[in-house]
Amino acid sequence: MSDEQLSLLRYTCDRIYKHLRWLRTQGLARLVEEGGLDPVDRVVTATRKWRWRHGHAVPPGTAIPVYIVGVQRSGTNMLLRGLAAAPEFEVHNENDRRVFRRFSLRPAETVVDVIRRSRHRYVLFKPLCDSHRVDQLLALPGVRPGRAVWVYRDVHDRARSAVAKFGDANLRALSRTARGDGHGLWQAQRLSRDSLELLRGFDYGTMTPHTASSLFWYVRNSLFFELGLDRRDDVLLFSYDAFVAHPEAQMRRLCDFLGFRYASDLVAHVETRASVKHRLAIDPRVRQLCGELMARLDAVSCGSRDG
């Protein structure tokens, strides 16, 4: 067996293990919803998009790329579900092998080709593992200027969800990055010197998965500011907690950003609820860092584009 085949086998086994654990802890209904696996919904959506293409299709090369980015388990699936049902959107999630390989985007030529061939108004991608490249994705040649939506969520809720689905994956990635062995990891890409120095100051032998998940939330969401995305008009910072509390207002804000008409069916699947804070027992230093960054993110989100 070649190294490539062995790597693929390990990757496949890891995915199966994670899905089985997610199925055991969250149930079949949640797994189907998360993966968009409901066959009825898929047929209905595909039919609506087929009809739209035959009546309203745009000329090839005129579709607008949209990138949904941020840290995993930040509520992007809920946001994507509403947009994916709209026939104007051609959607490519992380499990779409035409565009993604092991959850990372394929080469730029492939992405550009998909965008240029589309007959929809928007081509939407969810490249969470490529969030550190969002500025580069927005500069892809040969396509119309795109838009990016950086989604973030309360750090405690994100950490709880991430550990439930991925176990200690964040802990292992941060440990490798801290000891200088993370060059091939997407989790370590484009981290600032300050972030790398911060990571080297922790003991990963005693760190809990929830603390590691929170620290991962911190360094990855810090990229929003470190890459200068807060100063760009083509990037929208979007709060998942604000979305579930006020779905119509937040979806209208997103539609205004994209230049897309608002419709109530975009949020029909969202159950309005206030965020209930269940604080995790995490390292005090990490808690303080995350609290400061959360306040900074909230300030930008609430202050930008009449949010």
Beta bridge partners of 237: 150
Beta-strand relationship, 235-239 and 89-92:
unpaired
Do 226 and 273 reside in the same domain of the chain?
Answer: yes
Spell out the long-range contacts of 282-287 with Cβ–Cβ below 8 A and sequence spacing 24 or more.
282/156, 282/159, 282/208, 282/210, 282/211, 282/214, 283/202, 283/207, 283/208, 283/211, 283/214, 283/215, 286/211, 286/214, 286/215, 286/218, 287/214
Do 202 and 156 reside in the same domain of the chain?
Answer: yes
Q: Where are the alpha helices (DSSP H) in 27-154?
A: 28-35, 39-56, 76-85, 108-117, 134-137
Do 60 and 7 reside in the same domain of the chain?
Answer: no
Which helix (H) or strand (E) segment is 255 a member of?
helix 247-258
Do 14 and 142 reside in the same domain of the chain?
Answer: no
Do 9 and 90 reside in the same domain of the chain?
Answer: no
Residue 162 in tokens: 């991430």
Do 120 and 210 reside in the same domain of the chain?
Answer: yes
Q: What string of pLDDT tens digits covers the 307 residues of the chain?
A: 665 555 555 545 555 555 555 556 555 554 445 555 557 676 777 888 888 887 888 999 999 999 999 999 999 999 999 999 999 999 999 999 999 999 999 999 999 999 999 999 999 999 999 999 999 999 999 999 999 999 999 999 999 999 999 999 999 999 999 999 998 999 999 999 999 999 999 999 999 999 999 999 999 999 999 999 999 999 999 999 999 999 999 999 999 999 999 999 999 999 998 766 678 999 999 999 999 999 999 999 987 544 4
Do 45 and 15 reside in the same domain of the chain?
Answer: no
For the domain that residue 233 is a member of, what is the CATH number?
3.40.50
Q: What is the pTM of this model?
A: 0.86
Give the range of the structural domain holding residue 250, as residue numbers without chain letter: 36-303
Do 111 and 138 reside in the same domain of the chain?
Answer: yes
Do 61 and 7 reside in the same domain of the chain?
Answer: no
Do 131 and 220 reside in the same domain of the chain?
Answer: yes
3-class DSSP assignment, residue 238: strand
**What's the rounded Cα separation, in Å, for the pair 72 and 168?**
14
The structural domain count of the chain equals 2
Of the candidates 132, 288, 302, the residue with the CA atom closest to the CA atom of residue 224: 132
